[in-house]
Amino acid sequence: AQSVAQPEDQVNVAEGNPLTVKCTYSVSGNPYLFWYVQYPNRGLQFLLKYITGDNLVKGSYGFEAEFNKSQTSFHLKKPSALVSDSALYFCAVRAYGGATNKLIFGTGTLLAVQP
């Protein structure tokens, strides 16, 4: 079965420190991987995606993610956290099969950045 796991419900980091939000996946074939962010009482917003090519993907707001095929991981990173980065982060993978690009989402990780 295809799935996405975000092992941490919450990540706490001090402003200015680097942050990592973890994601691992299980999918048949080559994955399409995505990160979305959700601010309170808002819909999800796209951050970045990996389709093919360079394993390090850069996205919005200074975020980046590294695709690691051997570890089936796609961790989200940022060199220096901001208080405004505090939000709920979702990793997602495209499910193979069918004529659609429906996504399977992880359970989400709450990022709390302390001033």
Partner 1 sequence: NAGVTQTPKFRVLKTGQSMTLLCAQDMNHEYMYWYRQDPGMGLRLIHYSVGEGTTAKGEVPDGYNVSRLKKQNFLLGLESAAPSQTSVYFCASSARGGANVLTFGAGSRLTVL
Binding flag, residue 45, partner 1 (CB under 8 A): yes
- Under rule CB under 8 A, which residues in 1-40 are in contact with partner 1? 9, 32, 34, 36
User: Which is nearer to partner 1, 13 or 27 (by Cβ)?
Assistant: 27
Contact predicate 5/25, CB 8 Å: yes
DSSP result, 10-66: EEEEETTS-EEE--EEE-SSSPPEEEEEE-TTS-EEEEEEE-SS-SEEE-GGG-EEE
Contacts of 29 (CB under 8 A, 6+ apart): 96
Of residues 42, 56, 79, 114, which one binds partner 1 by CB under 8 A? 42
Binding flag, residue 101, partner 1 (CB under 8 A): yes
Of residues 25, 65, 78, 108, which one binds partner 1 by CB under 8 A? 108
Residues making contact with partner 1 (CB under 8 A): 9, 32, 34, 36, 41-46, 49, 51, 90, 94, 98-108
